[in-house]
Amino acid sequence: MVLLVCISCSKSDNDVEIIEENETEETPVDVPVVVGESPTFNAGEDPKPDGKVWEKVENLSDEFDANSLNTEKWASRVSSWIGRPPAMFKDEAISFKSGELLITNYMLDAAETLNGNTYTHAGGLIRSINQATPGMYFECKMKANKTFMSSTFWLINNRNEGAGCDKRTTELDIQECVGEVTTDATWAKDFYNGMHSNTHSRNKSCDETNEGSIGNSIVADIAYEDYHIYAAWWKSPTEILFFLDGKLLKTVNPAEDFTLPMYCRLVTETYDWNPAPADGGLTGSFEDRTTKYDWVRTWKLIEN
């Protein structure tokens, strides 16, 4: 039995919210069954309704077979977020090899100070140019890095694109993990293995908008030892289904309706709750410091 813990790794500030949930059985990872051009599901796990089929959303999908970023689909970094100290986002952390997108964490040659913050480490951020909408299914084949820095796959809206009560933040974390846990906090002791997913509603403009973080952690295989397929179906504004290696793990009902278009992000960063080791934490090999993204695929349902 494992204790499920909801961890808010906020992308706009350094706050960490912890919400305890009910206990659940540890979920074994099965071998995925891939049939034709469709998402990766184990046999009997495909949640599509009768009369519907999956169609790939090409502008939110990428096999990363090129030697550079497809700028019609992706961009590196965002002007409003340079990274949480002590790590900043650097294009030099991003590379391509053997049909994979690589983000490799490293130490800066010299500390940099921006906006009153000091940065000593480098990670990377890739964001989608195009928006995702309710009903879509998102999956990513990824191998995490072995450092104290994160390996992630998630979605978030642009608050400044909203107006009225839609000027708020919604965030869908499909997978967040670290390779090395440096904190003594009990809730984080398993953050290097399994799947850690969350939904966040925050930065509201209207009193009637609900805020909160609701999600789960599933303890399974150590994330940096092998590739895994992390996925979520944004089934409706009120229901998110999370999948690991083709198996349904959890259904989550966000604190507020997820109606706003969101952008996909692939990020390695530092968390304030998981501080850098005394030696900087990035003394390992290129392989150890690298998060590998084999592919990202997005799907929508259409009539059969």
**What residues are labeled active site?**
171, 176
Neighbours of 242 (CB within 10 A): 25
CB 168 within 8 A of CB 203: yes
DSSP result, 121-162: EEEEEEEEEEEE-TT-EEEEEEE--SSSSEEEEEEE--GGG-
- Residue 66: phi and psi, rounded to 5, are -80, 175
Cα dist from 217 to 24, 117, 148, whole Å: 10, 31, 18
Encoded amino acid at 18, one letter? I
| φ and ψ of 115, to 5 deg | 55, 35
CB within 8 A of 100, min separation 6: which ones? 64, 292, 293, 294
